[in-house]
Amino acid sequence: GAVVSQHPSWVICKSGTSVKIECRSLDFQATTMFWYRQFPKQSLMLMATSNEGSKATYEQGVEKDKFLINHASLTLSTLTVTSAHPEDSSFYICSAGGTGPYEQYFGPGTRLTVT
């Protein structure tokens, strides 16, 4: 089946620094990728939709200048959390859409802790 990977699986960074999270579709091409954020004991919240070669579409309330998304190829999307603060500490999950209208495959998630 389709596999989506994320790197790193966990990261600790200091407040004020930036951190990049990679999302890769390993065995299929994904024209669309999605980024979610999940706080402890809460559900997943869609942050943005990224399409290969175009600007990402952000959900209401998500700061596009803080969460930079790049989808430069059909197998890679990156999320950069800029000037991270402790409140950005969360579990970040990506997913990739396949060729069918109902295919979406999730990555294993990245645990970000900002100290």
Partner 1 sequence: DAKTTQPTSMDCAEGRAANLPCNHSTISGNEYVYWYRQIHSQGPQYIIHGLKNNETNEMASLIITEDRKSSTLILPHATLRDTAVYYCIVESTGNQFYFGTGTSLTVIP
> Does residue 54 belong to the site contacting partner 1 (CB under 8 A)?
no
Q: x/- binding map, residues 3-32, to partner 1, per CB under 8 A?
A: -x-x-------------------------x
Contact 93, 107 (CB under 8 A): yes
Residue the block writes with tokens 């175009």? 54
Contact 65, 48 (CB under 8 A): no
List the one residue from 20, 22, 49, 62 that touches partner 1 (CB under 8 A). Answer: 49
> Does residue 35 belong to the site contacting partner 1 (CB under 8 A)?
no
List the one residue from 19, 95, 112, 114 that touches partner 1 (CB under 8 A). Answer: 95
Which CB, 15 or 57, lies closer to partner 1? 57
* β-strands 10-13, 19-25 pairing: unpaired
DSSP string, 73-114: ETTEEEEEE-S--GGG-EEEEEEEE-SSTT-EEE---EEEEE
- Binding stretches for partner 1 (CB under 8 A): 4, 6, 32, 34, 36, 43-46, 49, 91, 93, 95, 97, 101-109, 111
